[in-house]
Every structure is written in C-alpha cells, then in structure tokens.
Amino acid sequence: MKRLAVFVSGSGSNLQALIDACGAGVLAAKVVLVVSNRKAAYGLERARLASIPALYFPLKPYSDAGRSRAEYEADLLDAITPHSPDLLVLAGWMHIFGASFLGQFPRRVINLHPALPGVLAGKDSLRETYEAARRGEPVATGCMVHYVVPEVDAGEVIATERVPVAPGEALDEFAARMHAAEHRLIVRAVGQWLAGR
C-alpha cells in the first residue's frame, strides 16, 4: 500500500476525492498525512474527520523571523519524513517548492492544475482561461496533473481532462464542472503513478 501525503491550502475537495478513492479501494494507497499552510483550510477538517494525521505548517513565522524559504522547506521536510510518504500530492497547495526540497522526491511530487499543458500557467488559470474562451479566443480549457519541477506548472504531464466552456456558462458554473473533472483526474493520475506510468 503506497503512502500519500496530500498538500492543501483551501477546501480540500480534491483531498477528499483521494481519501474516498483510497477508502473505496479504487486506489491501492492510503492518505497518511495532510499538510496545510493555511490554518483555515477546510482540508485540515477533512483530515480530522477521516482520522488522518494533519500538519499545519505556515511560512509566515519564518518570514516574520527573517528566515528563508529554504529553512521553512527544510523543516517541513523534517516534519513529513517520519510519515514516510511515497508520493506527495499538491492539491490546491499555494506554495512553490524550491529545488532542494523537490530534489528529495524525484518523480514523487505531483500537482493538480486547472489548465491544460502550456495554457496560461499561474494561480488564476481557471478564470483567465474561462475569460479567454468567452472572448472567443482559441484556448483549450481543462485540467492536468503533472510532475513538479522547480519551474511553476512545468514538468512532465501525467494526465489531462478537457473541460470546454459551455455557451453562456457563468464562471461559477464552469468552476464547478472543472472541480468535478479535477476530482476524477486526480484519482486517475494517482492511479497511473501507482501503476508506474
């Protein structure tokens, strides 16, 4: 049984999809740790409800004390190591890891992103791709899971799902369909990783 550590900063609905898939035996894996850098992240509550160890680990005390991101990441590494994760899943995790941290987990850190490869990388991708599509620009909308490398939203792609903007669709409707697609995709991508692809 492979051990998953899931990193969240928000609602954790993708974390929930993974917890459910592991619980249902869809994935031969177990979520052994949830990490959040935001105290209010509902993902922490999801971890508590599922009796999964959770770690609230914010950057701010480090920056307030004049300590570096590298020091933060080194301490985070020390905190997660006892949980022996096989795979780190970044699911709405709003912190960009540096090369030193990532170097500890070659091809063992994956990220979910609400845009397709090569399309508007960045934290507002969902809204930006939606608006571009609504303007009639030839932008493909959807989501992907990719390996994490030090460059943002780069790294080999593991799985994608297209989510075209429907005619007249509002942003919140599009976002809801995107999230539903993400919940399928993250489970599929972890399944592919487990299968060694």
Catalytic residues: 113
**β-pair type (157-162, 87-90):** unpaired
b or e along 14-39 (b: 16 or more beta carbons within 10 Å of the residue's beta carbon)? bbbbbbebbeeeebebbbbbbbbbbe
**β-pair type (54-56, 87-90):** unpaired
- Please report, to the nearest 10 degrees, the dihedral formed by the alpha carbons of residues 28, 34, 36, 39 taken in order: 140
Stretch that binds ligand GRF, among 46-54, 110-118, 132-140, 146-154 (CB under 6 A): 110-118
Q: Which is nearer to ligand GRF, 113 or 188 (CB)?
A: 113
- Told to check if 46 binds ligand GRF by CB under 6 A, we report no
Site for ligand GRF in 135-194 (CB under 6 A): 179, 182
User: Which residue number places its CB atom closest to ligand GRF?
Assistant: 92
Among 4, 12, 18, 27, binds ligand GRF (CB under 6 A): 12
Among 47, 112, 144, 185, binds ligand GRF (CB under 6 A): 112
Neighbours of 6 (CB within 10 A): 31
Min CB(42)–ligand GRF separation in Å: 8
